[in-house]
Amino acid sequence: MDKEHVLDTILNGEIVVEGRFVDASNATLFAKAVVGEDSVSVIYKPIAGEQPLWDFPDGHLAHREYAAYLFSQELGLSLVPFTTLRDGPFGPGSVQQWIEVDSSIDVVDYVQSSPETLRPMVIFDAIVNNTDRKFGHILITEDYQIFGCDHGLTFHEDDKLRTVLWNWSESEFTETEIALLRRAKESVEVLSGLITPVEIEALTTRIERLLELGIFPAPSELWPPVPWPPY
């Protein structure tokens, strides 16, 4: 199935739930988007299955999932699997293309080796203020394409960066990364309606601070730097 057909199936196919990830704190369902004899594996996260979070009281996690995808695409990073907001058997929610990972790749070892291929994800997480970048949220395919999943805890107005990707802490940005930050600053309005105006303002301020410092952020002493559990 070519890419256009895959995306069309995810957008318009019937969502058929096949299972649930029981370890997830919010409803996270493995499903198929089905059109005729064609199907595409997806992750469906209905808004109705979201648990209230004291530190993310505004909006819906599904909207943040979609916002992360939209911003990744806007910046030309393609780090987040195709994601959309649409209806499903348990109501509206986010639907994201399932990525088949290479199970022979040890993600922890890969991260600790500090490959240059992870730098785009590191700067993306710093921009969107990802508070939940675990090893298990880094997806590596057989041909070493890298994707990130589970972006429901992003774009908070307060600095809450928590990640297993601190290897690049205080390293200088490259010219390409500086250009990426400038493009991000010009693109924040694409997220209007998905996150709050206060969060958009904080996003702009965060990008400006990264540009001013010119280096990857260091762990905060005021906030746990690594999500728990880290995988």
At position 217, the amino acid (one-letter code) is P
How far is Cα 230 from Cα 154, in angstroms, rounded to an integer? 17
Q: What is the DSSP letter of 52?
A: P
* Average pLDDT of every residue of the chain: 96
pLDDT at 61 over 90: yes
Beta pairing, strands 29-35 & 138-140: unpaired
How many percent of the chain have pLDDT more than 90? 90
145 part of a folded domain: yes
pTM for this predicted structure? 0.95
Residue 227 lies in a domain: no
CA distance 48 to 51: 9
pLDDT tens-digit profile of 137-184? 999 999 999 999 999 999 999 999 999 999 999 999 999 999 999 999
pLDDT digits (tens, 9 = 90+) for 177-215: 999 999 999 999 999 999 999 999 999 999 999 999 999
Q: At 112, is the pLDDT very low, low, confident or very high (cuts 50, 70, 90)?
A: very high
Alpha-carbon distance of 93 to 20, in angstroms, equals 15
Asked if 172 and 214 count as a contact pair (C-beta separation under 8 A), the reply is yes
- Provide CB contacts within 8 A for 195, sequence distance 6+: 58, 59, 63, 64, 67, 155, 203
Local confidence band at 62 (pLDDT 50, 70, 90 cut-offs): very high
3-state secondary structure of 224: coil
Q: Is residue 68 one of the residues assigned to a domain? A: yes
Contact 99, 81 (CB under 8 A): yes
The token pair that represents 148 in the structure block: 């990130």
Res 221: pLDDT? 86
Please report whether residue 162 resides in a domain.
yes
In a domain, 226, yes or no: no
- Please report, rounded to a whole number, the percentage of residues in the chain having pLDDT higher than 70: 100
Q: Give domain status of residue 219, yes or no.
A: no
| pLDDT for residue 55 | 84
pLDDT band at 1 (very low <50, low <70, confident <90, very high): confident
Q: What is the domain extent for residue 31?
A: 3-213
- The answer, yes or no, to whether residue 8 has pLDDT greater than 90, is yes
Examine residue 25 and state whether it is found in any structural domain, yes or no.
yes
The pLDDT, as a whole number, for residue 24 is: 81
Q: Return the DSSP state at 38.
A: E
Please give the tally of structural domains in the chain: 1
Looking up tokens 């505004």 gives: 58
Q: How much is the pLDDT for 23?
A: 82
Is the pLDDT at 52 greater than 90? The verdict is: no
Residue 195 lies in a domain: yes
